[in-house]
Amino acid sequence: MRLRTLFVSALVIFASSPFVATCQSVPTRTHITSDGVLELNGAKRFPIGLTMPPAADAKSPDGGNALSALHADGVSFVRTGPTQGHWDDAAIEAEVRYEDAAANAGIYCMPFLRELGSIGPKNLAHEQTLAKLVNRLKDNPGLGVWKGADEPEWGKVPVESMVHVRQIIRQLDPDHPIWVVQAPRGTIETLRPYDPTYDILGCDIYPISYPPGTHSLGKNKQISMVGDYTREMVEIAGNKPVWMTLQIAWSGVIKPGKTLRMPTFAEERFMTYEAIINGARGLVYFGGNLHQAWTPRDAELGWNWSFWEKVLRPVVAEIGPSGPLAAALVAPKSKLNVAVSARDDIEFSVREVGKEIFLLACKRSGETAEVTFTGLPAVQGEDEVLFEAPRKVSTKDGSFTDWFAPFEVHVYHFLRQ
């Protein structure tokens, strides 16, 4: 009865809100397709998320609501939950208030379970708190997915205790999946045992630092490590989707003795597309809340709006729900037999939407080179290179040639004849 009263009250608030055009007013129901695409209340989504986002009542640089501004620019998910402390009654009620505000702005939350992400079979107190949290949030229109234990393989979190959490959540809330993010550590063999603990797999990888690539223990210290870790997660996850966490800022560039370094637009764009090309079905960007990376204006607003405006918003504009790739990013992988000429440093993915064909390609290493793609069907005339107008390529007999510089991305758009 109490939950129903709160839910009805929330509907009244939403109905009187100036953001009613974008607010969510019904509980969310999710489904993951066989292609790893998230369906949310029947609509396919390519999640674009932030961890951590601005406060629920924070203002954007133009004085409007921060969450509404981010949603208008393409953000659909935000990680929430207590940043310090534990899940107690006060934290649960704070989460309810945040999710109400997020729903009002059109955004879905990913509450981090923290200490509730791993519960031993005899920890009755944590079981009771988890049940209280799930029951309190499961019908909130602002709930998107649960975020489980963080980097569990690196932290040696017992698989059994995470499976126990998943069983509790599935019993109480079958409508919201669990997203587990691993560190760039371990191997396929050591990570695979965590398969029964999640519905969505992820990995956080932050290549931008001085010296480069310190977040990874692998040999590749370039930004193309994003593709390496994405492929690894896809292999581990099997038919489950992969949502990768990419860099705004992180501890390796803000701690004492470290040199602050954040991605440029070109670097962020490359990492974003390389993750998508290698199989990511969602992306989350980490570190906008780290005050050590803020300008004085950011400090006044409480979030890294400088990075958002200069770097991340232009990237999200390309892949967001209002961009030309929206339908392609939730489409299945194409079965067209497209190939690239004799190069092992070009990565690409092909998607089809009706008569439209999208080819996303990037160069992960090597020198500037001219490459040839083959295997396309008959297409109409000169073809667009999206986001590079007025540049086009000419396709003949299913083939075209173009130049790639190191860490460069091209997005091609074709129309079948």
For the stretch 170-181, pLDDT in tens is: 999 999 999 999
Mean pLDDT score, 268-289:
98
Over range 402-411, report the average pLDDT.
Answer: 97
pLDDT confidence bin for 2, thresholds 50/70/90: very low
Angle in degrees, CA 386, 388, 389, rounded to 5: 90
| pLDDT at residue 190 in the model | 98
pLDDT tens, position by position, 101-156: 999 999 999 999 999 999 998 899 999 999 999 999 999 999 999 999 999 999 99
For residue 10, pLDDT beyond 60: no
Residue 85's pLDDT is 86
Considering the chain, what is the average pLDDT of its residues? 94
Q: Which residues contact 90 (CB under 8 A, 6 or more apart)?
A: none
Per-residue model confidence as pLDDT tens digits over 314-341: 999 999 999 999 999 999 999 999 999 9
Residues 6+ positions from 57 with CB-CB distance below 8 Å: 65, 101
Q: What is residue 356's predicted lDDT score, i.e. its pLDDT?
A: 97
pTM of the model: 0.94
For residue 157, what are the CA distances in angstroms to 48, 113, 116, 118, 199? 27, 14, 12, 7, 17
Q: What share of the chain is helix, strand, coil (3-state, %, to 5)?
A: 35, 25, 45
- In this predicted structure, the answer to whether residue 4 has a pLDDT above a threshold of 80 is no
Chain-centre distance for alpha carbon 89? 29
| C-beta separation of 223 from 267 below 8 A | yes
Q: Token pair 């003949």 is at which residue?
A: 396
pLDDT per residue as tens digits for the range 58-109: 999 999 999 999 999 999 999 999 988 899 999 999 999 999 999 999 999 9
3-class SS string, 198-221? CCEEEEECCCCCCCCCCCCCCCCC
Q: For the chain, which residues make up each domain, given as ranges?
A: 2-329, 339-415
At residue 11, does pLDDT exceed 90? no
Could you tell me which of 155, 81, 153, 165 has the C-alpha nearest to residue 117? 165
Query: What is the architecture, at CATH level 2, of domain 339-415?
Result: Sandwich (2.60)
- Is the CB of residue 119 less than 8 Å from the CB of residue 127? yes
Q: What's residue 382's pLDDT? A: 81
**Looking at residue 121, what is its pLDDT?**
84
> For domain 2-329, is the CATH number 3.20.20.80?
yes
Backbone angles phi, psi at 35, to 5 degrees: -90, 5
pLDDT of residue 126: 98
Q: Give mean pLDDT, residues 5-22.
A: 35
pLDDT tens, residue by residue, 179-225: 999 999 999 999 999 999 999 999 999 999 999 999 999 999 999 99
Asked whether the predicted pLDDT for residue 355 surpasses 50, the reply is yes
> Positive or negative CA dihedral for 168, 172, 174, 179?
negative
pLDDT-derived band at 22 (thresholds 50, 70, 90) equals low
Q: Is the peptide bond before 262 cis (omega within 30 degrees of 0)?
A: no
Q: Is 268's pLDDT higher than 90? A: yes
Residue 8's pLDDT band, with cuts at 50, 70 and 90, is: very low
Listed residue (141, 156, 114, 187) closest to 3, CA to CA: 141
